[in-house]
Amino acid sequence: MPNAIDELVSVSAQTGEVTLAGARCVNCGEVVFPAIQDCPLCVEPDVMEPVPVRGHGVLRDYVLAERGPEGFAVPYLQAWIALDDGPVIYSTLAVADPRTFSAERGSPMTMILEQFGTGDDAFQGWKFAADAAADV
C-alpha cells in the first residue's frame, strides 16, 4: 500500500545518504520540508522550488516514551532534529538500548531508513542515529 512518505525520501545508490524532498522560496530563501508550493514565511503562492534537504542535523530535544500508539514496541525514543538545511523534523532515534541513551542537545545525527509497520501497512520511514564520530 503506498504511503505518502514514499514521495518524501530518496537514498543515494552510491553513498547510501538519505535525501528529503524539500522546497526553497525563490523570494525569501526559506527552506521547508515537506515540499509545498506556497511560502509560509513571505506568504506568496507558487514561489517554492524543489530542493533536496540533507538527512543530517543536530539533536534538539528527546524523550523516552514508555507508552506509544499501536504497533510501537516500547520503550522507544522520540526526538526533534534540527536539520542542517533549516527545517526541524520529528524522528525516533535508532539506538541499541533506549533506556540507557543519553546525549547532549546539539549532538550531530544522521538519518537512516527503516521499515515501520507490518504486512500491508508496512512502509519505509526514517530514524536518526548518532554520528559515528559522536558515538563513543
Partner 1 sequence: MSEAYVVGTGLHPFGRYPELTVPQLARTAIWNAVRDGGVAAKDIDVAYVANCYNGYFTGQADALAPLVFGRAGLSGMPMIHVAGGGAAGSVAVHQAALAVLSGQYRMALAVGVEKVFVPGNPAASISAIATSGEQTTATQLGLTWVGDLTMSARRLMTRYGWTARDFAMIASKNRGHAAANSDAELQSAISVEEVLSARMVAPPLTRPMCSSAAVDGAAAVLIADAETAARIGSGRHPRIAAMGVVGGQYRSNRLPDDRPGMLSMDEAGRAFALAYERAGIGPEDVDLAQVHESIAPEELLAYQVMGLCPPGDEAKLLHSGATTLGGRVPVNTDGGLIARGHPIAASGVAQVVETARQLRGTAGARQVEYQGRLPRVGAIQNAGAQGGPSGGVAVSAAFLLSS
Judged by beta carbon, residue 50 or residue 68, the one nearer partner 1 is 68
Q: How far is the CB of 61 from partner 1 (least distance, A)?
A: 4
- At its nearest, how many Å lie between partner 1 and the CB of residue 136? 23
Alpha helices for the chain (secondary structure H)? none
The footprint of partner 1 (CB under 8 A) covers 3-5, 8, 29-34, 36, 40-41, 61-72, 76, 78-80, 82, 86-92, 105, 116-117, 123, 125-126
What's the closest the beta carbon of residue 14 comes to partner 1, in angstroms?
26
Which among 18, 106, 88 is positioned nearest to 55, based on CA atoms? 18
| Closer to partner 1 by Cβ: residue 65 or 134 | 65
Residue 48 Cβ vs partner 1, minimum distance, rounded to whole Å? 10
To which H or E segment does residue 129 belong? Answer: strand 123-130
Cβ-based nearer residue to partner 1, 66 or 135: 66
- Do residues 41 and 25 touch, judged by C-beta distance below 8 A? yes
**Residue 75 is placed in which grid cell?**
520503550
Spatial contact of 128 and 109, defined as CB atoms under 8 Å apart: yes
Nearer to partner 1, 88 or 135 (CB): 88
DSSP secondary structure letter of residue 55: S
Secondary structure element (H or E) that encloses residue 24, with its range: strand 18-25
